[in-house]
């Protein structure tokens, strides 16, 4: 029986796929493994060495709260890391040739000089002019807010940043899970750190601080890890809360895409008008379907015909078709 080639096996870019294309990550996952190990080891030490004492001395609710937070942190982390962030399919050979013909219009045989064809297009979003840049790698005009990730070598819709800590890009399809991950991780880190301090204080009242450290050295290790981690995690959570409430991406904030320049009246056309509406749209809005049919059958010539077969769920074909039409309006 001949091997059937799936599309994920021949997709361009630098992504790594597992479980027959169901899991999609970046190739550099060493930092991601370190993130998982740091969370799991710290929480394991807390459950083994701190929770029994705190449960008996204070309340049995403490290990329950810690367990719920730990499960939520791990689920959002894995959901962020193992999903398609919103990769935009590259143009087929026919589409690339058609786009080249459109942008390489002849200047006229009598023209004394040659002007290179423009590699940008302009669209108007809520009265604000937005430039669509041409991607020389993917051979497409990127939709608004999309950008090309140099590490994964893919254009990502609503590209926020490439996060080595989660081993994936953060984009339209997994940003909400990334935001919930860093927020829940901040709560978990503060909760564990507070419980560790409480544990050591209670032990110190009985036998002194040095004896408390000797009795529970694991608590000291956990406390050091949480102390040096909590500041960066809280800062990151605060920064992304600001981005969420203003409906911006990290990429747009760093570039200053919506900051006033030279007296121009520039505003964010994607803002919903209030921080509450922005939060609801970013976190609770409908999740767009994947534009990659990763588990579909590849065409015989080895090239992936992605434009004609969007989405990975047959049951949501109508939703996929609607999103496909919106996507085409953006790139045309």
Is residue 289 in some structural domain?
Answer: yes
Burial-class residue 201 by CB neighbours within 10 Å (0-12, 13-18, 19+): exposed
Q: How confident is the model at residue 37 (pLDDT cuts 50, 70, 90)?
A: very high
pLDDT digits (tens, 9 = 90+) for 215-263: 888 888 999 999 999 999 999 999 999 999 999 999 989 888 777 654 5
Active site residue 163: yes
Is residue 282 in some structural domain?
Answer: yes
Across the range 117-126, mean pLDDT stands at: 76
Is residue 23 in some structural domain?
Answer: yes
User: Which of 135, 138, 152, 163 is flagged as catalytic?
Assistant: 163
Is residue 2 in some structural domain?
Answer: no
Cα 161 from Cα 158, distance rounded (Å): 9
Is residue 109 in some structural domain?
Answer: no
Angle subtended by helix axes 175-207 and 30-45, to nearest 10: 40
Q: How confident is the model at residue 268 (pLDDT cuts 50, 70, 90)?
A: confident
Is residue 88 in some structural domain?
Answer: yes
Min mean pLDDT across 136-140, 154-158, 260-264 is at 260-264
Is residue 110 in some structural domain?
Answer: no
User: 207, 199 in Cβ contact below 8 A?
Assistant: no
Q: Give bridge partners of residue 123 from the DSSP assignment.
A: 130
Which range of residues forms the domain containing residue 94? 7-104+115-331
The count of structural domains within the chain is 1
Is residue 1 in some structural domain?
Answer: no
């Amino acid at each position: 029986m001949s091997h059937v080639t799936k599309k994920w096996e021949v997709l361009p870019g630098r992504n790594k796929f597992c479980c027959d294309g169901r899991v999609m990550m970046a190739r550099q996952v060493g930092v991601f493994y370190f993130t998982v190990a740091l969370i799991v080891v710290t929480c394991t030490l807390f459950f083994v060495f701190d929770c029994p004492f705190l449960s008996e001395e204070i309340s049995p609710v403490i290990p329950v709260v810690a367990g719920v937070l730990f499960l939520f942190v791990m689920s959002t982390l894995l959901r962020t890391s193992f999903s398609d962030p919103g990769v935009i399919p590259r143009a087929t050979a026919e589409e690339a040739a058609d786009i080249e013909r459109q942008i390489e219009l002849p200047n006229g045989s009598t023209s004394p000089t040659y002007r290179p064809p423009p590699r940008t297009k302009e669209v108007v979003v809520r009265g604000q002019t937005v430039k669509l840049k041409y991607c020389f790698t993917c051979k497409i005009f990127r939709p608004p807010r999309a950008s090309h990730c140099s590490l994964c070598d893919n254009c990502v819709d609503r590209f926020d940043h490439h996060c080595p800590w989660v081993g994936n890009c953060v984009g339209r399809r997994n940003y909400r899970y990334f935001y919930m991950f860093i927020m829940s991780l901040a709560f978990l880190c503060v909760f564990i750190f507070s419980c560790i301090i409480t544990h050591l204080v209670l032990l110190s009242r009985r036998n002194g601080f040095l004896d408390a450290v000797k009795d529970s050295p694991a608590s000291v290790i956990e406390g050091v890890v949480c102390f040096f981690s909590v500041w960066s995690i809280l800062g990151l959570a605060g920064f992304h809360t600001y981005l969420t409430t203003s409906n911006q991406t990290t990429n747009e904030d760093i570039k200053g895409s919506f900051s006033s320049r030279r007296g121009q009246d520039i505003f964010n056309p994607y803002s919903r008008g209030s921080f509450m509406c922005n939060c609801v749209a970013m976190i609770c809005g409908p999740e767009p379907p994947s534009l990659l049919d990763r588990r579909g059958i590849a065409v015989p010539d080895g090239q992936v015909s992605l434009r004609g077969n969007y989405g990975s769920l047959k049951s949501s074909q109508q939703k996929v078709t609607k999103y496909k039409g919106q996507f085409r309006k953006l790139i045309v």
